[in-house]
Each structure stands twice: as structure tokens, then as C-alpha cells.
Amino acid sequence: MASGGWFQRLYWTVAGLGLAYVLGLAALTHSTVQRNATYLHNANPAVWQDLSDVESFGFLPGQVTPFTVKTVDNETIFAWHILPAHVYKEHRDELVQQVNNSPLPATLIVSFHGNAGHLASAFRPGQYQNLLGLSTPSRPVHVIAFDYRGFGLSTGSPSEEGVTLDAIALLSQITGHTLPTSIVDLTNPVLQSSLGTFVSTSFYHAWTLQLRRPPFKGLVLLASFSSLTKLLDSYSIKGLTPPLLSPLAVYPPALAWLHRQIVDKWDTATRLSELVTAKDLPLDLTIMHATDDVEIPWPEGWENWRRCGHNKIAIGEGVKVALLRLLDY
């Protein structure tokens, strides 16, 4: 009798977990629920953190200048302009007053963060400091960090098209270009990082191939994936769970149906292949991926590399050399 009761409890536990899994997948077919799960933008520490208090994030008073940008669809994007410490020290007063009107520095790095949180969450300020550590008096490096719509203090809700528009608006202001006249200017029927990698790729694709604007010096993708659809087939939460869609692998029609319900496809591999094959479009592309990445498996970054037709691999010190070359060091 005791063993029968144990088996019955196990049966109902497994059945309950199975039902919860099915209901969870069903809920994710709704676009609002799906986007909340994809972007995690409502996990927003800006509710209790003051993003204007830059000292609390490890920066000097006045080293960071917060500013906002309006998008073509009237959302407000919040951003930081972060100065290297040596420039800040030498020209503090004038830089703080002129940061939005001064010419571009020798090198400007625009950081596209991943999902959840805001531009100053967790390890992100440390990443900016690492980038600023490359700056020298003869080769100053500035960093721009920003929150996509719905993240931090930025208004709106994220979508594939929307966050691409955010990046377009920000870089248009930085480079002195006008905003596109409408959202339609950035849509293309043939289109199908971490969160930041697919946002930056989508932006670069729209900027160069659709808006026909001059390319930037380089594009660096860290822990990228080929598409959201493909990532979900192998995605594990912190490496602690089986791939989330693995139970559906034995039911290909169900898996294919679920793939069709994904509203933001984020097909990074296709965009990258179109960028590298475009005529008269120079592209200095660096794809970096840790082989022990437990959340975004390294074959995802490899697929992007393969689709681009690359034939050069760097490991160890070679990665550092590749990045310094990009900055002309």
C-alpha cells in the first residue's frame, strides 16, 4: 500500500509538471507574454535605482552624462555618454558642458546590452569601465550605453522593429543624420545579443542596406545566436535545465507549429550573411563566444561565423589582438 501511494504521488507530480509545461507553452504563444519572456524588460531595477546617480554605479561625478533621444514613433530612449577618466580629469568643466555638441571622439564604442535590467544593471558598468580602460590621451575612447524601449527609463514596449528603431534614433543623433521619415523606411519583407547581438546586427543591417548610410568601423558580437527560433531549441536556463523545447523534439509538427508562433524571429545569421555579401559594403566583423557558455551554446556563434563565410579563428591572446586591431592599437 505504501509503495502504491508513493507511485501515485509521483504520477500526479509528473502529470502536474507536464500540465504546467503545456500551459506555459500555450501562454507563450500570446505576443505580450512572449515578449515579456524574451526581453524580460519588466525586471526593471530602475524602479528603485536612480540612473542619474552615476556615482552609485562606480563612476566619477560628471563622468557620465545622461541624455535622451526621441524615436520616429515618439518613444523616449535613455542613454549615457561615458567619458574616459583621463579626458574627464583634464577637461572636466568643458566636457560636461559640451558633451552633446562636441565632435565625435577618436573612437566611440556603442554598447548594446542583453535582456533584463537596465544599462547599469549587474556587471554592465564594469564592462564599460573595461572598454574605457583602452583609452589613452592620444587615442581617447568614449562609450555610449543606452536602454531599449521598455527598459530602464526608456518608454514603450520592446519588439524586433521597435528596438531597431531605438538604435537608429540614437546613432542618427550621434552621427548627425536625420531620423527616417517613418517606420516603413526600416521594414523589409525579405527579413525574417545575447539580446544585444541581434539588436546590433539588426540595426547595422537597417542602417547600411536599407537606409544606405555609411558603415561603422566594426561590429563585435559576444555570445551571439543565429536566430531566436533556433536558440530556443537548445536554450537552457543557466545550464541547469534541459533545453526548454526538448520535450517537443519527438513531436516535430508541434515544434514546427510553436516556431511559427514566435513573433520576433531575430534572424541574425541571415542578416549577417546579407551584410557580408553586399557589394561595396566594408564590414569588420568579430564574433566572440566562450566554449563553456551554458546559456547560449557556442555552436550558435559558430553558425553565425559559418554563414558569414569566415575563414579566420582566434583563441586566447589572438582575441585580444583582434579587438585591439579594430581600435587601431
- State the helix-helix crossing angle for 268-277 and 298-307, rounded to 10 degrees: 30
From CA 217, how far away is CA 171, in angstroms rounded? 13
Dihedral, 194, 196, 202, 206 alpha carbons, nearest 10:
-170
Burial class (CB in 10 A: 0-12, 13-18, 19+), 146: buried
From CA 110, how far away is CA 131, in angstroms rounded? 10
pTM for this prediction: 0.83
Q: Is residue 194 pLDDT above 70, yes or no?
A: no
Q: Is residue 242 pLDDT above 80, yes or no?
A: no
Q: Is residue 238 pLDDT above 90, yes or no?
A: no
Of residues 319 and 101, the one with the higher pLDDT is 319
Q: Is residue 152 pLDDT above 60, yes or no?
A: yes
In 102-209, DSSP assigns E strands to 107-111, 141-146
What is the per-residue pLDDT across 120-136, written as a single tens digit (0 to 9) for each? 988 899 989 888 888 88
Mean pLDDT for 114-121 is 88
**Single-letter amino acid, residue 196:** G
CB distance 269 to 232 below 8 Å: no
Helix (H, G, I), strand (E, B) or coil at 132: helix
Mean pLDDT for 238-247 is 77
Distances (CA, A) of 309 to 5, 81, 271, 304, 306: 59, 35, 13, 9, 5
